[in-house]
Amino acid sequence: MLNLIFWAISAARVGAQSPAKVAGPDPVKNFCMRWWSQSIVKNDVLYIDSGVERFNVSGDLYLGINNHILSINLTETWDWKIPGDEPGGLSIDVTRKNVTNPDNGTPVPNLIRGHLFHGPTNMSQIYNFGGATYMYNQSFEGYVQPETSTYPLWTYNPDAEQPWDQFNLGQPWQPNHGAAAEDIEKGLGFYLGGQVDMGTSTRTLGQPFKDNTQNLSMPIEGMLIINLVDSTSTNISTSSMNRSTPRIGGTLDYIDAVGDSGILVALGGQIHPDLTPGDVANRTQGELITFDTVDVFDLESYYADPSSNGTWYQQATSGDIPPPRIDYCTVTTAAPDNSSHHIYIYGGVDPIKNEFYDDVVILSLPSFTWTVGWPMGESPRLGHNCHRAGKRQMVTVGGNVSNLPCDWELKGVAFLDLTTFEWGSKFISNQLDYQVPQKVWGVTNGTGEGKATVGEPKQGWTEKGLGEVFRKSRYTVPSTWNLPPDPTTQSNPTGEKKKSNVGAIAGGVVGGVAGLALIAGLLFFLHRRRVKARSPTELHSDSATGSRDGDEKKNKLDAKDQYELQGINENNPAELPGPEAVELNAPREFVEADHDTAAWASELPGTNTAPGGVHGVPIVRTPGDDLPESPEYTPGLKRPASTGSGRRRRRSSTSSERARGAQQASEPPRTAPREQTKEQSEDYFGAARPTPPRDVESPRTDDDFRTPAEQVSPPEPGPPVTSTTPSKPPTPPSPPSPPALPGTAL
């Protein structure tokens, strides 16, 4: 009660505020660093609204608020490293916001940690929802105290004469630091969780939120569904979510091709499970929601019954699960054939452990597998925004670089190619179409064009209902997915119990027995027929030998009653080659070979035995082959001595090894490669960096910086070098000490 009285006295004392007489330093010319701003891409224009800014005025750095809205053209290629007044450079339009709404005189707010919604495509305005006033530097020349929470939604129309307008959504609070997503087609915005703090309104200026760093807050329950067309809203319960307590600092992503009306995927965030509703939370305490489980909201479950709270599902993930964090950003992409969907997360901070991140990790759906796209870098970033820009680039907007006094991105934007993972300062308006990055092909079992065959998580669905959602689509369910049969299509659709019919069962049994008897008789008949067909058959011809007459032979070949041996090619007949059979009349009688045979005619003794052979045992050789090995010793037989150098003999493995050893001994010794030397060179941040060992690919060559997307050929392999002392790996440079949390110091 005392707090409510204090809030009322504060509100009466503050009253209606006037806009700042000055807007503060130029946010582009005096830019040093900017974070916790609101941004959106609409109609090929990037809008950046407000945010905490560290200004650089003649070398002096100080914190304040950006009292402007910035716009950047995304229809032409440009590079922020080139000055804006030169061809190909980045030009940023700056519009002051220290104005009032002409309808009621309310000043246009300049807030942090809110959200810009895109809005319907047939409307040119953008929608600024929520946010809080930055309270740390109240002596800033552009500072304005918070207003009431009556109008949490503002619109900005750059084409209108009066560009700003405000709306009352009928909600008790104006939240900030929540997670937001949007169904543009239906004109609906979604805002999950969030908080109120000292900068929310006139009611929160005093206790218990009195903290200029705004680390003290009250979490807000539920998910707000905002109708951007008629400016109405509904707050639905989120009690069925994993860790159902209110969350802040996470993300919410919309995927339109899954389910009948799309899905929302909630990732990460910070919770305070021990708080009771209305208690105050501390940013440096509580718990972080891990990424090993994600929450999925089926929008059709809500659209079909708006009076309900819809259905949330939980799903376990696998792969390279990143550490938990808040204040990161996300973008979503889809394969060209919608066979896979990918959520990219970038950067962030763990406020409890005071750890900062500069990595890019991808969550691929429907496998729900994490893949590292860009490993941990050297400029951790938090409080930034990400958007799809052009065909396949991600634009990052602002961010607090925790280990630098000013952002090295001199204009506050940078670009990542979502297919090749190449960072750059250049926006490319005529970029190629998006392709699924090769790093996740193993997860999708597909290609750059999509063609994913993985249609479900390898660990299975945590909740079967989510699997049924993925089997539906407002477009077409991918035909490339390898899915088990849908159990819902094999069940009784009416759900009615089947009645028992004794007569039908008895008739079925009798008919089954009769059918089995008929089948058994048929099988017995076929078996006897097959056995009869395989029995020996006498040839019809009475001739014991073939005829020598050519005409008679030709007539016999043309006749249909020839009985010849079957060839190996199915049933094509094959005639035995050669003339008529001739029997040797005497053991030692010589027979002259026919001149029509394939081999040259030769005279052979009928009882000739080859050296090494055994009388009566045939030896088979191919033409040109030497005499065979003698058979193993048999008692009573004597192995003839080998003569001549042409006879082949088997070499034992021992003799082969001896031969190889002799050959190696005769070769001159190889020269060992020179000892690896260290290359001391300056890296991007000026720290000395030794050259990696020889067997590790280095991203640096001749002191030139290369992105990980560039392939550096590894050194050619050489002979192994023995060493008695193992070499020590190079010691990496010590990282800079982490600064205090953003907003607590310059």
Q: Examine the pLDDT at 698 and tell me if it is beyond 80.
A: no
What letter does residue 439 receive in the DSSP assignment? G
What are residue 490's phi and psi, to 5 degrees?
-100, -5
CB 580 within 8 A of CB 546: yes
Residue reference for tokens 């060839």: 567
pLDDT at residue number 612: 61
pLDDT per position as a tens digit, 139-158: 998 898 998 889 999 999 99
Nearest alpha-carbon partner for 34 in 58, 69, 77, 73:
69
Residue reference for tokens 């001595």: 641
pLDDT per position as a tens digit, 287-312: 999 999 999 999 999 999 998 899 99
pLDDT at residue number 148: 87
Strand partners, 414: 396
Indicate the average pLDDT of the chain.
76
CA–CA–CA angle 319, 324, 330 (5° rounding): 80
Specify burial of residue 142 (Cβ count, 10 A radius: 0-12, 13-18, 19+).
buried
* DSSP-assigned letters across all residues of 186-227: TTEEEEE--EEETTS-GGGSSTTS--TT--EEEE--SEEEEE
Mean pLDDT of 720-725: 39
pLDDT at residue number 641: 46
CATH number of 2-15+30-324+456-487: 2.120.10
Mean pLDDT of 254-270: 97
Residue bearing the bigger pLDDT, 338 or 660: 338
pLDDT at residue number 337: 95
Helix (H) or strand (E) holding 533: helix 502-533
pLDDT at residue number 703: 33
Which tokens hold the place of 587?
């053991």
CB 120 within 8 A of CB 187: yes
pLDDT band at 729 (very low <50, low <70, confident <90, very high): very low
The CA–CA distances, whole Å, from 488 to 459, 484, 497, 499 equal: 20, 12, 17, 22
pLDDT at residue number 623: 55
pLDDT per position as a tens digit, 483-526: 876 555 444 433 343 344 545 455 565 566 667 777 877 776 67
**Cβ count near 487 (within 10 Å):** 10
Q: Examine the pLDDT at 349 and tell me if it is beyond 70.
A: yes
pLDDT band at 705 (very low <50, low <70, confident <90, very high): very low
Residue 66 three-state SS = coil
CA pair distance 437, 460, nearest whole angstrom:
24
Specify burial of residue 60 (Cβ count, 10 A radius: 0-12, 13-18, 19+).
exposed
CB 97 within 8 A of CB 23: yes
Which tokens hold the place of 25?
């330093």
Out of 273-277, 382-386, 704-708, give the one with best mean pLDDT.
382-386
Residue bearing the bigger pLDDT, 168 or 670: 168
CA pair distance 372, 357, nearest whole angstrom:
13
pLDDT at residue number 244: 83
CA pair distance 399, 417, nearest whole angstrom:
19
Encode burial over 687-704: b for 16+ CB neighbours within 10 A, e otherwise: eebbbbeeeeeeeeeeee
CA pair distance 362, 355, nearest whole angstrom:
20
- Please state, for a pLDDT cut of 90, what percent of the chain lies above it: 54
What are residue 506's phi and psi, to 5 degrees?
-65, -45
* DSSP-assigned letters across all residues of 457-518: -TT--SSHHHHHHHT-BSS---TT------HHHHS-TT-PPPPP-HHHHHHHHHHHHHHHHH
Mean pLDDT of 44-58: 97
Contacts of 222-225 spanning 24+ positions with Cβ under 8 A: 222/193, 222/246, 223/190, 223/191, 223/192, 223/193, 223/297, 224/171, 224/175, 224/190, 224/191, 224/192, 225/188, 225/189, 225/190, 225/302
CB 351 within 8 A of CB 326: yes
% helix, strand, coil for the chain, step of 5: 15, 25, 60
Mean pLDDT of 356-362: 97
pLDDT at residue number 103: 72
pLDDT at residue number 452: 96
Nearest alpha-carbon partner for 686 in 453, 275, 404, 366:
404
Out of 233-237, 471-475, 608-612, give the one with best mean pLDDT.
233-237
CA pair distance 312, 463, nearest whole angstrom:
10
Q: Strands 700-701 and 60-65, how do they pair?
A: unpaired
CA pair distance 512, 66, nearest whole angstrom:
85
The CA–CA distances, whole Å, from 555 to 558, 560, 579 equal: 5, 10, 17
Residue spans of the domains in the chain: they are 2-15+30-324+456-487
Helix (H) or strand (E) holding 423: strand 423-424
pLDDT at residue number 492: 42
